[in-house]
Amino acid sequence: MTRRSSPLVPLIVGLVALVGFGWIWIATEESVAPASTVTWFVSESALALAILVPAVCLYFVVRAVHARRLQARQAARPDSPGIRQARELLWSLSNDLLPQTTRASDIRTDATELVFLADTGAAARHRQAAPTTRSLTSSARTLVISRKGGPTSTQRRNATWASIGDVSIAVTDRRILLRGSENILEVPYADITAVHLVPGAVVLRVRDAAPVLVLSDHAESVAVLAVWGSAGESALKRHPDFGVLRSS
């Protein structure tokens, strides 16, 4: 379960600060004692805190309310088949259970290799060898949205990702295979250094090569298997992009 922020705590803190520091300010302003530097400092500090602390608390109240509304909308919206499959896959692998195997009809694998996912989608290589995580995920989201206009127009105007094309996808217990019209791209788990998940796509940072982007209706499952294969079972429980898969 994901932790749900409560607006009650910052609301109470803000009200207490407003009343408490406000009372101190009023008391010092109405005091009949001779004015001094200490009295002036206490008065001005109380006034500043009476304004600042409630303002900060109000920010956290608004943020908590917004988060709750967002979580409510997500809970009301039915999960896609890809999310449901990825959630089941994450649970199985996190509990040391291998998922059901399948067969990749158009991708040749080793006889002893277990195929966990076979799908179709698109793939691309980043034009930079080591882009920042922010630019990497941002450009991936942009490409996911732009591909809705068609792969041909996307390839013509994209300046961040190269070699964008439709692929067949096979994810096994050893590697990720992407079969395009001309060749097969193999991404062994041992070469994956990081996995970034965005809605509809997964980005794989690969050792000694530019990042690989995989767009698929089952991108979440590809990401789960990539993390499991490259970093192990324990990494599944702490990966920051899998929060939506851990919630129920």
> Sorting pLDDT into bands at 50, 70 and 90, what band is 129?
confident
How confident is the model over 41-89, as pLDDT tens digits?
A: 888 898 999 999 999 999 999 988 887 776 676 565 556 777 888 989 9
Token pair of 73 as six digits: 């909308």
**Calpha distance 241→180 (Å, rounded):** 27
Identify the helix (H) or strand (E) that includes residue 153: helix 151-157
Mean pLDDT of 198-220: 92
- Coil, helix or strand for 34? coil
Residue 104 has pLDDT above 90, yes or no: no
pLDDT value at residue 79: 66
Mean pLDDT of 105-130: 90
pLDDT value at residue 143: 84
**Calpha distance 103→97 (Å, rounded):** 19
- β-bridge partners, 61: none
Residue 154 has pLDDT above 60, yes or no: no
- Compute CA distances 96 → 35, 100, 101, 182, 189, whole Å: 72, 13, 15, 37, 18
Burial 216-236, CB ≥16 within 10 A → b, else e: bebbbbbbbbbbbbbbeeeeb
Only one residue has tokens 């990539």, namely 226
**Calpha distance 16→122 (Å, rounded):** 55
pLDDT value at residue 2: 43
241, amino acid identity: D
Taking each helix axis as running N to C, give the angle between helix 81-94 and helix 219-231, from 0 to 180 degrees, rounded to the nearest 10. 20
Do the beta carbons of residue 94 and residue 232 sit within 8 Å?
Answer: no
> Sorting pLDDT into bands at 50, 70 and 90, what band is 173?
very high
CA 100, 106, 112, 117 torsion: positive or negative?
A: negative
Full-model pTM: 0.67
List alpha helices for the chain, DSSP H: 8-29, 37-76, 81-94, 133-146, 151-157, 219-231, 233-238, 243-246
Token pair of 176 as six digits: 């990720």
32, amino acid identity: V
Do the beta carbons of residue 203 and residue 195 sit within 8 Å?
Answer: yes
pLDDT value at residue 241: 87
Length of the chain as a residue count: 248
* Least confident span in 69-78, 132-141, 222-231: 69-78
> Sorting pLDDT into bands at 50, 70 and 90, what band is 153?
very low
Mean pLDDT of 89-115: 90
Residue 152 has pLDDT above 50, yes or no: no
> Sorting pLDDT into bands at 50, 70 and 90, what band is 156?
very low
pLDDT value at residue 148: 64
pLDDT value at residue 245: 82
| Per-chain mean pLDDT for the chain | 85
